[in-house]
Structure 1
Amino acid sequence: MGSVRCLREGPSATSMSTPFNLVARLTEERDRGAIVWLLNIGAEKYWNPVQPGVVDRGEDRIVGRVEEMNLLLCREQDILILREMPDPYYLDKLREWGFSIPRRIRVPRQSDSWTPISELVLRDVDLLTELAKVAEANDDVWFVPYAVTRLEEQIAARCGLRLAAAPSGVNAAVNDKIANREIAVALELPVCQGRVCGSAEEIGQAYAELTEQPPYFDRVIIKEPFGASGKGLYIVDGPDKLRPILLRVSRFAKSNPQAQWLVEGWYDKQADINYQLYVSEDGKVDVFSIKQQVLRDTVYIGSRMPVELGADAIDRYREFGEAIGKHLHAIGFTGVAGIDSIITRDGGVIPIIEINGRFTLSTYISFLERVIGDAKVFSRYFKVATDEPVDFRAVCEELERERLLYSRDTGEGVLVYTSGTLPTVKDESSGKYPGRVFTLIVARDWERVEEIGSRLESLLDSWQYQLT
């Protein structure tokens, strides 16, 4: 590593006079500077090391390839680091649809499907040297990973890159669900009824209080402090489901006496709302991309954009976001944060269900207007398992046959925005080809979105058995 220089003393006076703002760089300042992008999904395991349990290598391979979502944000002058070079047909299609493909896409030497991408980068001296030369030649180069752990800090230090985000310790603290509740309380925002528990006995007591006292919740959710994509969340709708969770908690607490869990009532909802923040180093807070999320229980499956809320409700969310962003800045946080909230059945708003002090999958679809214009969009992903491999070209050809493929001329259709997650690798245990199809269903009105979405769902259902 001797050939790669250390972090420079600090940014130049010019860069300090105009703090980096990611939202501006992706909108009105798209020609300015360069960004090194890295989608290091799975950062939670570095913030809160725990036993991974059962490892599904096929699932891990698919999750790793969501890295291609970064292409929805990139500019031509940027550098994108991926674990695998994208399908050329996929890149050509994104260009045709209006996305900017970076001139420099880099893959670490000796890359594989399972090693965390940042570890792969740190092993590649040539790649680190190239990034260092880029940083040396240009004062306006920024490193924007999905999340910041000690690994991304090491990459920045070895290459002289400036991280457009808070230190890893701050990121970890902000991603703590119990700390999220404490932030809401400190800001005097409404919170879900419930409490923090430190033992199986306390969880049992909290469950009884929530289900046996007004307002008599039918279901209760138990949350571990860290987790993503629905992991570490347990929805309990009766004593039979509670017992095995209490046994698991008891075993864990014996070796982790400081462990805590959050137990809250499960609310009937009008809507799940996600809103994104960008907190600049100077404390400026941009609230952007307010979306209605579509969840299956606790797992995100898509978003509807633009959100169908009245102007007053949108203004309230902007006020919530600005207050939360200022609080985050005060505790040292900068960068992107995605906040999940709910509107309850009676119209009440709980502004913080959880804060992700990092990018979320929703962040990557937050700046589509430049490409698709003023349209209605339903982002939706599907799990599929096919009998034959289905690559990006095959998906597009199938959609085109069904007259479903997105067209810039008509401004509607289905836009598939990753290729590496598609079912192209066989799972030897099942004999199937598992994958994820990430789509944007685009039209000028919601009725047409529903129509296209229904046809798409029927088509993908048929893939569970054979390639049509």
Structure 2
Amino acid sequence: MILNTIKQKKYWVYNVNQEQKWNVVSEFPSIQDAQQLELVKQQEQQMLFAADSTDTVLFRYKPDDEFLTYLKNEGIVLPKMQIADPYSGRFDNLEALSDKAVLTVPYIVTSDLYEEFGLDESINLYGAKHDLVKRLNNKFETRRFAENNLFQTTKGFFCTNEDELRLAYNKLKQEGFERCVLKIAYGSSGKGLKLIDNDRSFNLLLKFITRRNKQFYLLLEGWYTVRQNINCQLFISTEEVQILAVTEQQIDNNGVYMGTNFTPYYEAALVERYKLEMLRLGRLLQGQGYRGICGVDSIIDQEGSLFPIIEINARLTQVSYLISQVMKLKQQYQVVESRFIRFNSSSSLNFNTVYNIVEKAVVPSQENRFLIYTFARHNSIEFDCVLYRVFVLFYGDDRSAVEAMIVRFNGLNGEFKTDIKTEQEV
């Protein structure tokens, strides 16, 4: 990762879920899954792959000791770790962050970052100003920005009332769109959008919205059949704009992130055009004062048309944290992809038990292997079970073999029937 070239000491913090906090509207029917959010927060473990050995990562949740031992055995050089008090959620002894020689690296720069982590506002923070970060993460502002700077954009309309929404929906149907997507300003990984499959689902959603508010501000877009997603990691400094990686996100039919292909294939001419557009975007963001890492989500539709700016993620992303590890793997292997599963069990499974289950399921070989890079676990009193999220990098030289491993891994989603005994029970 480009931050590895910064020699000053760094502290890493993971203030995830900010986009959802920014949504002050409630136009969509939604359920806040506090249980899954506990697992999402534990993706802070991914900071281990970006931080240097002299850095310190601030963890809300103590990682599993077996997981840390596993990472060391896999050759991962771990940074220093500081764990929050499990009751107050606060960190002790953060005076070092006030030293101007120390750089604090958050997941996203926000105005409430200081209060959330108990930080002094005088700290040296990596990234852009929080008001610019918030504006660039706004889906509405992103679309206007793309239109104003003549990037090719998807068909869509801003709507402020029922009549405008009906008119926009009918126009998109006349344009040939079988599905549409309704968006609010903030949200990542499928949050902040609702897919509309037909007239019935449109009318039900419209009824829900207008019952709550007669006036609103929403974005209705046509839902494109995507041939491939294409994604970019930009590094923007005062001196330069640099493309760190071009990857392919794996997205399900509801727009939810499933993983990343770090070694995708695209037509050479298209990649060249995409990189030119990304560098142009980077220079525009640079001119607005943006500094730091920025992720860009783009699509290629069935006709081969490139839409360079679907979303701007003015923050670190999962790819940002993994770049260094992925680059090492790409030096030896032709194929590198990531995926994750969610499952539950009736009893608590330690890391080694879960690792053995995954290994038995995916059947790795000497040439095609896997690395678990996140092991998140939450005891759910509400559901009387233990919830897990496990993120894995798959790598090898045989694409079909790696893809077969991924299929078998995906089969672990759901419930583990725990007639399996944990090591403590044996």
TM-score w.r.t. length of structure 2: 0.89
Give ranges in structure 1 of 5+ residues lacking alignment.
1-22, 113-119
Match of 2:418 in 1: 466
What SS class does the counterpart of residue 142 from structure 2 fall into?
Answer: helix
The percent identity for this pair of structures is: 26
Deviation at 1:235, TM superposition (A): 0.8
- 1:395-423 per-residue CA deviation (whole Å, 9 max, x = no partner) reads 223344567468xxx3532211112x14x
Match of 1:44 in 2: 19
2:149 to 167, 184, 187: 187
Equivalent runs, 1:249-260 vs 2, <5 Å: 249-254=209-214, 257=215, 259-260=216-217
CA-atom RMSD in angstroms: 2.5
Is 2:3 the partner of 1:25? yes
Deviation at 1:158, TM superposition (A): 1.4
2:178 to 183, 199, 218: 218
What SS class does the counterpart of residue 417 from structure 1 fall into?
Answer: strand
2:120 to 155, 158, 162: 158
The CA distance in 1 between the partners of 2:73 and 2:327, in whole Å, is: 14
- Whether the aligned pair in 2 keeps the contact of 1:47 and 1:149 (CA below 8 Å) is no
Deviation at 1:250, TM superposition (A): 2.2
- Whether the aligned pair in 2 keeps the contact of 1:84 and 1:111 (CA below 8 Å) is no
Is 2:283 the partner of 1:326? yes
Is 2:9 the partner of 1:34? yes
- 1:280-305 per-residue CA deviation (whole Å, 9 max, x = no partner) reads 1x152121221111111210011111
Deviation at 1:53, TM superposition (A): 5.9
Match of 1:299 in 2: 256
Given residue 400 of structure 2, which amino acid in structure 1 is its aligned partner?
E
What SS class does the counterpart of residue 158 from structure 2 fall into?
Answer: strand
Equivalent runs, 1:228-243 vs 2, <5 Å: 228-243=188-203
Deviation at 1:61, TM superposition (A): 1.2
Given residue 454 of structure 1, which amino acid in structure 2 is its aligned partner?
V
Is 2:81 the partner of 1:98? no
Match of 1:115 in 2: none
The CA distance in 1 between the partners of 2:219 and 2:239, in whole Å, is: 30
TM-score w.r.t. length of structure 1: 0.82
The CA distance in 2 between the partners of 1:242 and 1:399, in whole Å, is: 41
Deviation at 1:234, TM superposition (A): 0.8
- Whether the aligned pair in 2 keeps the contact of 1:153 and 1:167 (CA below 8 Å) is no
The CA distance in 2 between the partners of 1:311 and 1:368, in whole Å, is: 25
The CA distance in 2 between the partners of 1:400 and 1:272, in whole Å, is: 29
Match of 2:398 in 1: 445
- Whether the aligned pair in 2 keeps the contact of 1:386 and 1:467 (CA below 8 Å) is no
The CA distance in 2 between the partners of 1:46 and 1:38, in whole Å, is: 17
Deviation at 1:436, TM superposition (A): 1.4
**Kindly tell me: are residues 404 and 77 of structure 1, through their superposed partners in 2, closer, same or farther at Cα, counting changes over 3 Å?**
farther
Deviation at 1:41, TM superposition (A): 0.5
What SS class does the counterpart of residue 447 from structure 1 fall into?
Answer: helix
Is 2:89 the partner of 1:128? no
Deviation at 1:156, TM superposition (A): 9.5
The CA distance in 2 between the partners of 1:453 and 1:127, in whole Å, is: 43
- Whether the aligned pair in 1 keeps the contact of 2:262 and 2:326 (CA below 8 Å) is no
Give ranges in structure 2 of 5+ residues lacking alignment.
421-426
Deviation at 1:438, TM superposition (A): 0.9
The CA distance in 2 between the partners of 1:208 and 1:400, in whole Å, is: 50
Deviation at 1:38, TM superposition (A): 1.0
Given residue 431 of structure 1, which amino acid in structure 2 is its aligned partner?
D
- Whether the aligned pair in 1 keeps the contact of 2:344 and 2:414 (CA below 8 Å) is no
Is 2:365 the partner of 1:394? no
Equivalent runs, 1:78-89 vs 2, <5 Å: 78-89=55-66
- Whether the aligned pair in 2 keeps the contact of 1:386 and 1:432 (CA below 8 Å) is yes
- 1:215-263 per-residue CA deviation (whole Å, 9 max, x = no partner) reads x100011111111221121111112111232133324545xx5x42111
The CA distance in 1 between the partners of 2:372 and 2:401, in whole Å, is: 18
- Whether the aligned pair in 1 keeps the contact of 2:114 and 2:121 (CA below 8 Å) is no
The CA distance in 1 between the partners of 2:141 and 2:53, in whole Å, is: 38
Equivalent runs, 1:218-367 vs 2, <5 Å: 218-254=178-214, 257=215, 259-280=216-237, 282-296=238-252, 297-367=254-324
